[in-house]
Chains A and B, each alone.
Chain A
């Protein structure tokens, strides 16, 4: 069964203090790795999809990278509005096309 582990569970940063969130996964035949952002009281908002090791995607202060075992979400010079829960999910190669989520990392950026 596909598994996703995110670390740390919670991360508190000062504004401008860069850091990385980790997503480790085990999956049989990766079809895609997804990063989402979830604000309190809202649904997950899509950020990135990565399909193969070595791939990188960027959006504003966020950059996602992928290896064969893990993905990192790098946050450069974060701002308070980047505070949210960041969710990682994998779509495995099984026939049921099931997206498996990690438990998320709660990021708090203090001004």
Chain B
């Protein structure tokens, strides 16, 4: 069973489009995250949610809007996609926010053309 699963794995879209990436975890964790890995492989946090409540919003353009319908799901919606949004987006989860191990999904490869 996949612990943190995200869909789609690959996404190619045109500039200006709106797209969503879905994420689900079956670990019973309270905290979920979205990370972005750019072309230089640098992994940076974008958002984190604890029990559906936003706790980290890391200077991300407001074209990016996370939504957590329940603590097992954290979706990422991106409006008006730009070329610079091309990256790998990783969903992750941890038991709580405080120092617990973070488990990552397999990633969603977004290419904006």
Interface residues of A (CB under 8 A from B): 31-32, 34, 36, 41-46, 49, 51, 85, 87, 89, 91, 96-99, 101, 103-104
Contact = CB atoms under 8 A, between A and B. Distances in A.
Contacts of B44: 101
A51 B99 CA distance: 9
A87 B92 CA distance: 15
Interface of B: 4, 40-45, 48, 55-56, 58, 90, 92, 97-99, 101-107
Nearest to B107: A43
Contacts of A34: 101-102
Determine which residue in B41, B55, B105 has the highest number of CB atoms from chain A within 10 A of its CB, and name it: B41
A98 B98 CA distance: 9
Nearest to B97: A97
A31 B58 contact: no
Given A31-B98, A34-B102, A43 B90 contact: yes
B57 to A, nearest CB: 10
Contacts of A99: 45, 102
Given A31-B99, A32-B99, A43-B105, A96 B56 contact: yes
B9 to A, nearest CB: 9
Given A43-B104, A46-B103, A98-B56, A87 B98 contact: no
B43 A98 contact: no
A21 to B, nearest CB: 15
B56 A44 contact: no
Nearest to A85: B41
Contacts of B105: 43
